[in-house]
Structure 1
Amino acid sequence: MSESRPAILALTRRGLATARWIAEGLPAAEVLGRAGRADDADRTFTDTVATLRALFAAGRPVVGVCAAGILVRALGPVLGDKRTEPPVLAVGEDGASVVPLLGGHRGANALARQIADSLESLPAVTTASDLAFGIALDEPPADWTLANPARAKDVAAGLLAGDRVRIDPELDWLQALPQADDAPWHLRASIETPGDDPQTLVYHPRVLTVGVGCERGCDPDELTELVRATLTEAGLADTAVAAVVSVDLKMDEPAVHATATALAVPARFFDAATLEAETPRLATPSEAVYREVGCHGVAEGAALAAAGADGRLLVAKRKSRRATCAIARAPSPLDAARIGRPRGSMTLVGLGPGDPLMGTAEAAHAVDRASDLVGYSLYLDLLGDRAGGKTRHDFQLGEEEARAAHALDLAAQGRDVALICSGDPGVYAMASPLFELLERENRADWNRVAVRVVPGISALQAAAARIGAPIGHDFCTVSLSDLLTPWDQIQRRLKAAAEGDFVVALYNPVSRRRTWQLGEAQAILSAHRPGDTPVVIARQLGRPEEQVRVTTLAELDPAKIDMLTVLLIGASTSRAIPRGEGGQWVYTPRGYAAKHIKSESGDAA
């Protein structure tokens, strides 16, 4: 998900005053202030680098009222394709300088001029054509594309040398350039595939809509090739396409999304009733299609619905063995975000134990791109600045199924939802109840949602890393909670783990109402391994109250363990060794010592 609302960051009280001044000229902007220094902002943040990177990843224009170096150092490691990066500007705290740093031809130069006007200062725009004419030839509006950007430099050079241009009337943002009827350069608006004329810049309006249909499981290449061939034979430019569209029954069809990706446009969807309303405008209505999906035409109907009431069908339905497509044209450029509905997504995100440094980059990216956050209130609070600007849906502990259902409902509406978990979503967390709910309910709208699981660092991994290598050999995990699993089944698993001499991680060891299970688990394991077996007690991992200590199986006191603790009970081979700075390391050998001895013995022989 990307968002066009500018974010203005202030790091000091003086900078906040300038940020407010800028915001007066940008009514949709959000002012963010550094906590403790610029608290009177729309919202505050504590980690400047993380906040900048989150905004940048979300595609938001960033205006930093700070030194340019701060922005450069924060964003330098995450820069990628300059053609997709959002505008980033630095503004001096006194408002005297406005410097577009990134995305100059993606709106930064224009934004710099707008801000400079409101501050009565000068924008530090360095692009030559921008300086001379206030216009960037290779920066068309969002609903237009430049077909041959490599030629823009030649045209700009000609203009700077005193040449004039011929401009088609539709290109209204270019009309301020010097013009003449006999000018050597032509700036042309067209939906057709551009020719090879080196004197012509061709701009494509996003007015075409490609409607598609296909059988379930259609080869993505078949649909993509059908669409490309149809565009080519009609002489239409694929960069004039605004969206690939279909009926919502195809929302989870890989071929539709692959075709949209190939054309670098969104895939959007309509319900059957909306497509049926287009029947009078269809060129090839079909009773068979109506019986199958509830409308008389998918490809033509979707293309026309997307093009709007004043749109018209350019290419009637074409077929391949398992797919169909049709093309319509709208009278003016389209905003794809207003066409139909997108396929919603639901990402289960594991935050790790709690410390942001123990979260993964993939998890951070999933949160950044989400429109909605669903989770237990404490977990959402752990997101800190990353939750800013997103819709929160808070739940209490114990409402796991309600959380999953609510997240799926939101995603079914076309939202990008992140369902937040601590640790790893698949380890005694939300992934299992989510998939259980999907299977039990088998709802068509939920089944069409794009579901993804982003792993996190589990308490087991974090505890092991803190204390050494206790899970360096075979291990297993057992939850002692009998709320959902009968105790006799838990007992069987504990006995099997004990007999198999696994290192055992015990989750949910006790609670206020469950106080005896840990003692029984201790007795079961003690029957199969010595009393001096090391036991790692890890509490409040990743939080300021974190405690990790080592005891033995015989000395373990269940009365001193709580629900915020995970236990790692060693195998018979696990060892505790002293640390140089005090305390102990715990590790479980894999047999390298025996291998080393054998190797030395062989050498000696």
Structure 2
Amino acid sequence: GIATIDIKADEVGIVELCRDRQLPLHTFPSQLLRTISVPNPSAIVDAEVGTPSVAEAAALSAAKSQTLLVPKQIFRFPIENFDSQLEIQNQKGAVTIAIASSAQEYSDRTGKLLLVGTGPGELNQITPAASSAISSADAVIGYSLYIQLIDSLLQPHQIIEALPITQERQRAQRAIELANRGLTVAVVSSGDCGIYGMAGLVLEELHSQGWDGATPNVEIFPGISALQAAASRVGTPLMHDFCAISLSDLLTPWEAIEKRLVAAAAADFVTAIYNPRSQTRVQQLTIAKDIFLKYRHPNTPVAIVRSAYRQDEQIHLTTLEKLLDVPVDMLTTVLIGNQSTRTHANWMITPRGYFGTM
């Protein structure tokens, strides 16, 4: 990029050079430039524009560096290249240049964060807007499994960063870092990015960094959530009031989760259980089952859907009493019906009330 003092922002030669070479132009006021320590200050320049250095100070400011690669040099057009004394007299003077190297590429573009929900995983379940966002991004960041699921949407020129499942905050910080450089960054989550996904974490991280709400720009692309995908594979279990509860206590105290389970069970919500069981967390689903059995009939319909719409999809319709007979893991969504939920010909139906009591 090119950097100079702000009074040169409309200098024809500089503007045309940046236009022709597609270089960003960054200008600084003299008040800022005069605070930069440089090896070759000039009292003449100071008297003329209010700062003892333009080239060196602007280079260091734009690069956010304290070291010059090349100190200032003055270039003049050779006199022998002119055909007449008049041309020499009309020569506008000289240009002073200094070069500094930035730790990161400078851009005058406003960065963008595209927070994308990719749905259950199959490409035909991704919304067109979400698909376009992923393909148009300069960088795509996500959990390694989710990156694999959208591999055919990725472009050769893109920065692709797949991080492990436990590094959600690092993903958010990295995405913001790249967006602050002027890149368009897609952060992908399975399901809907705003339901137990990365969208909330990115916004929290921006808030903690004093984000002004505008730079980088943020756009959210919703996706088909896990509870919607699971419900669609077994019928219409969510036709009446429902809620979602995650059994993972990594970020939420188990005491709070247990209170929510009791409240949902007592209020007769159809309940979608996320993160029902992991390799190290095996008792929570048993506790959840026992809580619901205090308020609902043992034969209450339950759907257990693993990896909805993916090649290894598994679907089980069972009852609350037999919930633990079916294997579940972190890729499983459990749907517990309310007191009106019924099964019919391998379909799970929660009445809305149009036909009265079923």
Q: TM-score, normalised by structure 2?
A: 0.70
Which letter does structure 2 place at the counterpart of 1:568?
L
Residue 353 of structure 2 is aligned to residue 591 of structure 1: yes
Q: Partner of 1:593: helix, strand, or coil? A: coil
Q: 2:257 & 2:282 partners in 1: Cα distance?
A: 15
| CA 532–486 in structure 1, closer or farther in 2 if over 3 Å, else same | same
2:202 aligned residue: 434
In the TM superposition, residue 274 of structure 1 has moved relative to its aligned partner by: 9.4
Name which structure has the greater RCO, CA cutoff 8 Å, separation 6+.
Answer: 2
2:168 aligned residue: 400
Is the contact made by 2:306 and 2:314 (CA closer than 8 Å) also made in structure 1? yes
Output aligned runs, 1:471-482, within 5 Å. 471-482=238-249
Residue 26 of structure 2 is aligned to residue 270 of structure 1: yes
Deviations 1:389-422 (A, max 9, x none): 1111121111000000000000000001101111
Q: 1:393 & 1:592 partners in 2: Cα distance?
A: 49
In the TM superposition, residue 452 of structure 1 has moved relative to its aligned partner by: 1.3
Deviations 1:165-184 (A, max 9, x none): xxxxxxxxxxxxxxxxxxxx
Number of aligned residue pairs: give it.
279
Is the contact made by 1:474 and 1:503 (CA closer than 8 Å) also made in structure 2? yes
Q: 2:27 & 2:311 partners in 1: Cα distance?
A: 50
2:177 aligned residue: 409
1:202 aligned residue: none
Deviations 1:456-504 (A, max 9, x none): 1111000111111100110000000011101110011011101110000
Is the contact made by 2:106 and 2:181 (CA closer than 8 Å) also made in structure 1? no
Counterpart pick for 2:109 among 342, 366, 370: 342
Residue 248 of structure 2 is aligned to residue 492 of structure 1: no
Gaps of 5+ in 1: 1-210, 213-239, 244-265, 287-293, 295-337, 579-583, 598-605
Deviations 1:53-77 (A, max 9, x none): xxxxxxxxxxxxxxxxxxxxxxxxx
Counterpart pick for 2:343 among 573, 576, 581: 576
Q: TM-score, normalised by structure 1?
A: 0.43
In the TM superposition, residue 562 of structure 1 has moved relative to its aligned partner by: 1.6
2:151 aligned residue: 384
Q: 1:432 & 1:274 partners in 2: Cα distance?
A: 41
Q: 2:31 & 2:164 partners in 1: Cα distance?
A: 41
Is the contact made by 2:230 and 2:305 (CA closer than 8 Å) also made in structure 1? yes
Q: Partner of 2:202: helix, strand, or coil? A: helix
Query: Pairwise CA RMSD of aligned residues?
Result: 3.4
Q: 2:255 & 2:27 partners in 1: Cα distance?
A: 50
Q: 1:502 & 1:340 partners in 2: Cα distance?
A: 51
Deviations 1:138-196 (A, max 9, x none): xxxxxxxxxxxxxxxxxxxxxxxxxxxxxxxxxxxxxxxxxxxxxxxxxxxxxxxxxxx
Is the contact made by 1:270 and 1:340 (CA closer than 8 Å) also made in structure 2? no
Is the contact made by 2:107 and 2:182 (CA closer than 8 Å) also made in structure 1? no
Is the contact made by 2:234 and 2:348 (CA closer than 8 Å) also made in structure 1? yes
Is the contact made by 1:438 and 1:447 (CA closer than 8 Å) also made in structure 2? no
Q: 2:31 & 2:183 partners in 1: Cα distance?
A: 22
In the TM superposition, residue 423 of structure 1 has moved relative to its aligned partner by: 0.9
1:368 aligned residue: 135
| CA 415–275 in structure 1, closer or farther in 2 if over 3 Å, else same | farther
Which letter does structure 1 place at the counterpart of 2:270?
V
In the TM superposition, residue 567 of structure 1 has moved relative to its aligned partner by: 0.3
Q: 2:170 & 2:150 partners in 1: Cα distance?
A: 21
Residue 124 of structure 2 is aligned to residue 357 of structure 1: yes
Gaps of 5+ in 2: 1-8, 11-15, 34-43, 51-57, 59-104
| CA 388–486 in structure 1, closer or farther in 2 if over 3 Å, else same | same
Residue 180 of structure 2 is aligned to residue 424 of structure 1: no
Is the contact made by 1:535 and 1:556 (CA closer than 8 Å) also made in structure 2? yes
In the TM superposition, residue 594 of structure 1 has moved relative to its aligned partner by: 2.4
Which letter does structure 1 place at the counterpart of 2:116?
V
